[in-house]
Copies of this chain bind each other. A is one copy, B any other.
Amino acid sequence: MKRLLFALGIAACSISASIAQTPTAPSPGEIVAAAPATDWTTIAASDLLVMDLVPGPRGPRRVVIQLMPVPISAGWVRNIRKLADAGWWDGTSINRVQDNYVVQWGDATEKKPLPDAMETMTEADYVSPAVAKALLDHMILQATRDNGHSAGKPEPSKPDMADAYAAGGAFLNGWPLAIGSVQQGNTWPVHCYGMVGVGRNLSPDTGSGAELYAVIGHAPRHLDRNIALVGRVIEGIEHLSSLLRGTGPLGFYEKEEERVPILSARIGTEIADLPTFEYLSTDSRSFATYADARANRRDPFFIRPAGGADICNIPVPMRRAVP
């Protein structure tokens, strides 16, 4: 398996090649800042879930979540759209904050009726053969294109993304994905910092999407393929990660007054004056250069480039569109 990935340049490591480049190259942040407008992709407002918490010590607390694109976790995402349109989360709360793990929100009473026509998904939906096929096509396309480039300016080195949880990793349309077995069409989104997933009870329950959590610690990759991931926080994660930790089992708040009320959660198209958000296209040259720089820091602060980076240490850059 790894061999195929190497061939496709996904996990191939070339520290020497990297170090051989300019001794003091720009930092990842500088690379992102210098990326041409054409390397940024707009995120449709219809793909955003905007959650407003009660104001905090510094004022309004808005959390903007980008929902995953079809076909990844599509059934759960459709449920989430129904819940948002129904204003289902309005008046619910953040009920669990477990340090170095997750912040979880939903109906603390667990009695609030769900909207009609909610879909039920199965555990088979945790992985996506369709995405695996798309990813493989994309990887082959990119590998071919990279070879085409090699005549001109040298390509950024591909960071070593050796992964203890999968045969490899890759980015597709802005999302980090793990690859189990491409032959078996086995691909799944990964639990990186800021990713949003669907709370559930014991298997075979897969959750409806009404109970959600965001990762606020080291990537809990053991949850991959065991829980549905439906999106990621692209702005306002600090309003979740800096909340007081719950003192009950699993970090649940023990007192009702500790819960953080949710004023509303709506799809972006329903929000007035919502800024336009963009991500750095993961198939752009800027992203490749950024990923290489994340794996091989050459800006003045660093003395030893790592030569690699795990997929969750290459966060996809996000920004508000420049007006």
Binding site for B on A (CB under 8 A): 57-58, 97, 99-100, 123, 126, 159-165, 192-194, 202-204, 217-222, 224-226, 237-238, 241-245, 294-295, 297, 300-304, 306-310, 312-313
A304 proximity list for chain B (CB < 8 A) = 126, 224-226
Question: Given A222-B302, A306-B221, A313-B219, is A100 in contact with B194 using a C-beta cutoff of 8 Å?
Answer: yes
B164 touches A193 (CB 8 A): no
A159 proximity list for chain B (CB < 8 A) = 164
Q: In the complex, which of the residues B99, B163, B306 contacts A222, with contact meaning CB atoms closer than 8 Å?
A: B306
A237 touches B313 (CB 8 A): no
Task: Give the distance in Å from the alpha carbon of A218 to the alpha carbon of B309 in the complex.
Answer: 12
Q: In the complex, which of the residues B100, B241, B309 contacts A193, with contact meaning CB atoms closer than 8 Å?
A: B100
Looking at chain A's contact residues, the main secondary structure is loop
Task: Give the distance in Å from the alpha carbon of A308 to the alpha carbon of B310 in the complex.
Answer: 14
A164 touches B165 (CB 8 A): no
Question: Given A221-B313, A226-B301, is A164 in contact with B99 using a C-beta cutoff of 8 Å?
Answer: no
Look across to chain B and name the residue whose beta carbon is closest to the beta carbon of A241. B99
Q: In the complex, which of the residues B226, B297, B301, B309 contacts A202, with contact meaning CB atoms closer than 8 Å?
A: B301
Task: Give the distance in Å from the alpha carbon of A306 to the alpha carbon of B217 in the complex.
Answer: 18
A308 proximity list for chain B (CB < 8 A) = 163-165
Look across to chain B and name the residue whose beta carbon is closest to the beta carbon of A299. B202
Task: Give the distance in Å from the alpha carbon of A309 to the alpha carbon of B217 in the complex.
Answer: 15
A204 proximity list for chain B (CB < 8 A) = 303
Q: In the complex, which of the residues B165, B221, B307 contacts A165, with contact meaning CB atoms closer than 8 Å?
A: B307
A302 touches B226 (CB 8 A): yes
The distance from the CB of A30 to the nearest CB of chain B, in whole angstroms, is 13
A306 proximity list for chain B (CB < 8 A) = 164-165, 221-222, 224-225
Task: Give the distance in Å from the alpha carbon of A220 to the alpha carbon of B313 in the complex.
Answer: 7
A221 proximity list for chain B (CB < 8 A) = 306, 309-310, 313
Q: In the complex, which of the residues B97, B163, B218, B237 contacts A192, with contact meaning CB atoms closer than 8 Å?
A: B218
A307 proximity list for chain B (CB < 8 A) = 165
Look across to chain B and name the residue whose beta carbon is closest to the beta carbon of A219. B218
The distance from the CB of A154 to the nearest CB of chain B, in whole angstroms, is 22
Question: Given A241-B99, A244-B57, is A193 in contact with B222 using a C-beta cutoff of 8 Å?
Answer: no
A244 proximity list for chain B (CB < 8 A) = 57-58, 238, 242
The distance from the CB of A38 to the nearest CB of chain B, in whole angstroms, is 28
Task: Give the distance in Å from the alpha carbon of A160 to the alpha carbon of B222 in the complex.
Answer: 12
A309 touches B226 (CB 8 A): no
The distance from the CB of A227 to the nearest CB of chain B, in whole angstroms, is 9
Task: Give the distance in Å from the alpha carbon of A242 to the alpha carbon of B97 in the complex.
Answer: 10
B238 touches A99 (CB 8 A): yes
Task: Give the distance in Å from the alpha carbon of A301 to the alpha carbon of B226 in the complex.
Answer: 8
Task: Give the distance in Å from the alpha carbon of A268 to the alpha carbon of B192 in the complex.
Answer: 35
Look across to chain B and name the residue whose beta carbon is closest to the beta carbon of A28. B222
Question: Given A58-B244, A194-B100, A301-B202, is A164 in contact with B217 using a C-beta cutoff of 8 Å?
Answer: no
The distance from the CB of A64 to the nearest CB of chain B, in whole angstroms, is 14
